[in-house]
Amino acid sequence: MHGVELKSARELERMRRAGLIVWVAHRVVCHAIRPGCTTAQLNQLVERVLEAFGAEPLFLGVPGPAGPFPAVSCISVNEQLVHGIPGPRTLQDGDIVSVDIGCRFDGWCGDSAWTYPVGQIDARCQKLLEVTRRTLELALEELPRQQFWRPIARRMAQYVESQGFSVVREFSGHGIGRRMHEPPQVPNYVDRSLRLHDIRIVPGLVVAIEPMVNAGSRAVRMLPDGWTIVTADGQPCAHFEHTVARTDTGIWILTGAPQTPDEDAFVRPVLEKFVTESAD
Ligand code: MG
Ligand code: MG
């Protein structure tokens, strides 16, 4: 648990604001997704939502081998797993599109990803989305019941494999707080680091849990753009992520939907503005 910074209740309240902003951005994007829209258009919506709240995007400008990441969100289509660069690509009926959004607000970060269907998707993609989402839910259910991460990671991987899919091993979840990526690393399978130094799940621990699941083999590769990660076999993949805190009494999904009148009041003006707008 070296370097893991636990958060106070007051700090969690502040992280919740960042999480709610990310939640709003997802609702707005989800509402706008349809065959014919471009990934750049979705990215622009995310940009405007973050601007409306005065939140700082976390992905824009992240350094990479081919230069800084050029957008506020990562948008990855079909065989693209993560770190896709939004652009002129037009979404087609039957695509699946992963949108990863992170922001900092009042000094604290939120990070959440979701894979959305575009129009009518086939049964295999439908199952892939359900299984990946369920893998995240399983982890969230287990978090308050377990003292260590290892049994949760094992359960996530076993579930994915029992469904005939595979868990990507090149990427994992992470601690999050004032920075988007903090210790510990939170893998979606039992790796060497978990065998040697498991993550102790205690109140104040905040992690981004983010299963990445491939329909085919687990191998991935990077495109020549230096960012986009795709499945090696070209089969589709999915990614679901929430920022979540272990609290004294259970868990708090910081990037989850508003739960109180105060949270509702915080999100409503921006949500209504954008959802009404994109409804045409
Ligand atoms: Mg993310
Ligand atoms: Mg993340």
pLDDT digits (tens, 9 = 90+) for 129-177: 999 999 999 999 999 999 999 999 999 999 999 999 999 999 999 999 9
The predicted structure's pLDDT at residue 217: 98
Ligand 1 centre to CA of 251 (Å) is 19
Ligand 2 centre to CA of 111 (Å) is 5
How many Cβ atoms sit within 10 Å of the Cβ of residue 49? 26
The predicted structure's pLDDT at residue 278: 54
Ligand 2 centre to CA of 62 (Å) is 13
Ligand 2 centre to CA of 278 (Å) is 27
Instruction: Select from 164, 165, 187, 184 the least CA-distant residue to 176.
Output: 184
Query: pTM of the predicted model, to two decimals?
Result: 0.97
Ligand 1 is a single-atom ion; what residues have CB below 5 A from it? Answer: 100, 111, 113, 241
Instruction: Select from 254, 227, 257, 277 the least CA-distant residue to 48.
Output: 277
Phi, psi of 118 (to 5 degrees): -110, 115
The predicted structure's pLDDT at residue 169: 97
End-to-end CA distance of the chain: 49
Q: Is 267 left (phi over 0), alpha (psi -120 to 50) or beta?
A: alpha
Which helix H or strand E contains 42, and what residues bound it? helix 39-53
CATH number assigned to the domain with residue range 9-279, chosen from the 4 options 3.40.30.20, 3.90.230.10, 3.30.70.1020, 3.40.50.620? 3.90.230.10
Phi, psi of 9 (to 5 degrees): -60, -40
Ligand 1 centre to CA of 181 (Å) is 10
Ligand 1 centre to CA of 113 (Å) is 5
The predicted structure's pLDDT at residue 1: 56
Domain ranges of the chain: 9-279
Instruction: Select from 249, 170, 204, 209 the least CA-distant residue to 4.
Output: 204
Q: Which ligand is nearest to the CA of 22?
A: 1
Pick out the chain residues at pLDDT < 50: 280
Q: Which long-range contacts (CB under 8 A, 24 or more apart) does 116-120 make?
A: 116/29, 116/30, 116/33, 118/33, 118/34, 118/35, 118/91, 118/92, 118/93, 118/94, 119/34, 119/35, 119/92, 119/93, 119/94, 119/95, 120/93, 120/94
Ligand 2 centre to CA of 208 (Å) is 5
The predicted structure's pLDDT at residue 3: 86
Ligand 1 centre to CA of 3 (Å) is 21
Strand ranges in the chain using DSSP code E only, listed in sequence order: 56-57, 73-77, 80-82, 96-105, 108-117, 166-167, 173-175, 182-186, 206-209, 212-214, 220-222, 229-231, 237-239, 242-246, 251-253
Ligand 2 centre to CA of 172 (Å) is 8
